[in-house]
Amino acid sequence: MPWYNDLRPQSDDKKIDYALIFPSLNNSDRKRIIKDVLDIRADLDEKIPSKNADSSLLLASWNIKEFGHLKERIPESYFYIAEVINRFDLVAIQEIKSGLDDLFIIMRLLGSNWSYTITDITEGTDGNKERFAYIFDKRKVKPSGLSGEIVLWDKLTKDSAIKQLKRSPAITGFIAGWKSFSLLNIHLQPGKGDASKEFRKEEVRLLMEAIKEKLKRQHFWNENLIMLGDTNLYKNDDDIVDIINKTDFREAENLIGKVTNVSETEVYDRIFLNVDKTFFHLVKDENGKEKGNVYKPFEVIYTEDKRKAYHNFMLAHKDDPSTLVSDETFEKYYHQYWKRNQISDHNPIWIEIKIDSTDEFLRSKLN
């Protein structure tokens, strides 16, 4: 469970020298945070399956906005992010920036059962100084040893204007229960215009060609591939999705068509699977449909009814606070900018993978 010493009453601080991450929190802050932590925990209990020891793995993907770059995150936002991550076993993170302070705070809040792997920064203007990370519960998941990037080569790109993806996809192997698999963490070219779409389409085409060639030559550590992340695919990008599907990937069925950005306009964040069809399955619900969904933190935290508690924070963070002159301007800034800079402008997505294949294995041997 996450680390809650910072949420003890201040009187407790004087009894024992507790290690505090946010020593400046007063009792009023702590009380507000505790109430919202309880709210988000109850919401997660209702909307996310319970973690279990043996039978399944909860896998999530989350673009956390400019993580390690934004300076206005207040202490409670880290608690809420940690609570969400803690409800899964393995989380692929996009848009971690050059600074790692935010990541280190989250890891302290998550506690000693958690670990992470992280890529180097993608340098240059196009790379946007971004990293990919995987945060995982060591009690359920262990890295396989595979860790690297998908890098394009000359023969593949000779007829293309693109020589490398702007943000090199991070591929990392994991083992959980019976299952060995590789996660391919991606953050594709953004933008709705024609030029951006054509660039994104070519990124996907080249990536799929690289994957096909590596599969053909058996150059992957494991051939169970899960591609996930912020694809920046728009509703009219079906032709790009077709390129992925033709490489034997399929989109997690319960996520198809579900909007994932906080504005609820686009299906940016996705999970595609290219896995053994006999032994690698997602857990299904009582209706026979694969489990998976979008989780929306702002349904319980930083809601409209709590907005006025953050007016002073907004005034401190706004470049020109004199523009916050009415309740209407506070409301607009709160929902369109401030709270998204606290958590993210993307919602996390998740699936549940079956990791115990005892029955399938025994039946196959019996047959």
| pLDDT tens sequence across 176-212 | 999 999 999 999 999 989 999 999 999 999 999 999 9
If asked whether residues 46 and 168 sit together in one domain, one would say yes
Q: In 3D, which of 335, 343, 346 has the Cα closest to residue 305?
A: 335
Structural domains in the chain (count): 2
- The more confident residue out of 94 and 2 is 94
Q: Cβ atoms within 10 A of the Cβ of 139, count? A: 11
Note whether 249 and 273 are within 8 A (CB): yes
Give phi and psi for 360, each to the nearest 5.
-65, -40
Q: How confident is the prediction for the chain on average, in pLDDT?
A: 93
Flag whether pLDDT at 5 surpasses 90. no
Average pLDDT for 99-115: 95
Q: What pLDDT sits at residue 123?
A: 80
Joined tokens for residue 271: 């999970």
| Terminal alpha carbon distance of the chain | 43
If asked whether residues 245 and 320 sit together in one domain, one would say no
Q: pLDDT-derived band of residue 18, with 50, 70 and 90 as boundaries? A: low
**How far is residue 288's CA from residue 276's CA, in Å, rounded to a whole number?**
19
If asked whether residues 290 and 316 sit together in one domain, one would say no
Summarize pLDDT for 147-179 with one digit per residue, the tens: 999 999 999 999 999 999 999 999 999 999 999
211 falls within a domain: yes
306 falls within a domain: no
If asked whether residues 270 and 326 sit together in one domain, one would say no
Summarize pLDDT for 233-269 with one digit per residue, the tens: 998 899 999 999 999 999 999 999 999 999 999 999 9
Q: Give the rounded percent of residues in the chain with a pLDDT score beyond 90.
A: 80
If asked whether residues 136 and 232 sit together in one domain, one would say yes
- Can you tell me which residue has the tokens 């319970």? 50
269 falls within a domain: yes
- The more confident residue out of 331 and 277 is 331
Name every residue whose Cβ is closer than 8 Å to that of residue 280 and which is 6 or more positions away in sequence: 179, 181, 224, 273, 353
Note whether 7 and 34 are within 8 A (CB): yes
Average pLDDT for 31-50: 96
**How far is residue 179's CA from residue 110's CA, in Å, rounded to a whole number?**
24
Joined tokens for residue 246: 């033709």
Q: What pLDDT sits at residue 65?
A: 95
305 falls within a domain: no
- The more confident residue out of 307 and 17 is 307
Number of helices (H) and strands (E) in the chain: give both, helices first: 12, 12
**How far is residue 292's CA from residue 85's CA, in Å, rounded to a whole number?**
15
172: part of which helix (H) or strand (E)? strand 170-176
Summarize pLDDT for 288-299 with one digit per residue, the tens: 999 999 999 999
Q: What pLDDT sits at residue 320?
A: 95
If asked whether residues 293 and 181 sit together in one domain, one would say yes
Q: pLDDT-derived band of residue 13, with 50, 70 and 90 as boundaries? A: low
| Geometric angle at alpha carbon 40, from 114 and 87, rounded to 5° | 30
Q: What pLDDT sits at residue 272?
A: 98
If asked whether residues 223 and 325 sit together in one domain, one would say no
Flag whether pLDDT at 119 surpasses 70. yes
Joined tokens for residue 326: 């009415």
**276-314: string of b/e by CB count within 10 Å (b at 16+)?**
eeeebbbbeeeeeebbbbbbebbebbbeeebbeebeeeb
If asked whether residues 240 and 326 sit together in one domain, one would say no
Joined tokens for residue 41: 């925990």
Q: What pLDDT sits at residue 141?
A: 96
Average pLDDT for 3-21: 76
Q: What pLDDT sits at residue 101?
A: 93
**How far is residue 328's CA from residue 320's CA, in Å, rounded to a whole number?**
16
Alpha helix segments (H runs only) across the chain: 10-15, 27-47, 75-86, 101-110, 124-127, 154-157, 194-216, 238-245, 311-317, 327-333, 339-342, 358-366
Task: Give the domain range for residue 186.
Answer: 5-299+343-366
Q: What pLDDT sits at residue 3?
A: 74
Q: pLDDT-derived band of residue 1, with 50, 70 and 90 as boundaries? A: low
Note whether 201 and 182 are within 8 A (CB): no
Average pLDDT for 34-61: 95
**How far is residue 185's CA from residue 94's CA, in Å, rounded to a whole number?**
8
If asked whether residues 276 and 323 sit together in one domain, one would say no
Residues, the chain = 367
If asked whether residues 219 and 326 sit together in one domain, one would say no
Measured in whole angstroms, the distance separating CA 60 from the mean position of its chain's CA atoms is: 6
If asked whether residues 318 and 362 sit together in one domain, one would say no
Flag whether pLDDT at 309 surpasses 80. yes
Which CATH number does the domain housing residue 353 bear? Answer: 3.60.10.10
Q: What pLDDT sits at residue 306?
A: 96
Flag the least confident range among 10-14, 50-54, 75-79.
10-14
Q: What pLDDT sits at residue 15?
A: 63
Summarize pLDDT for 321-348 with one digit per residue, the tens: 999 999 999 999 999 999 999 999 999 9
Q: What pLDDT sits at residue 238?
A: 94
Average pLDDT for 116-125: 86
Note whether 266 and 258 are within 8 A (CB): no
Q: pLDDT-derived band of residue 39, with 50, 70 and 90 as boundaries? A: very high
- The three-state DSSP-derived secondary structure of 100-112 is CHHHHHHHHHHCC
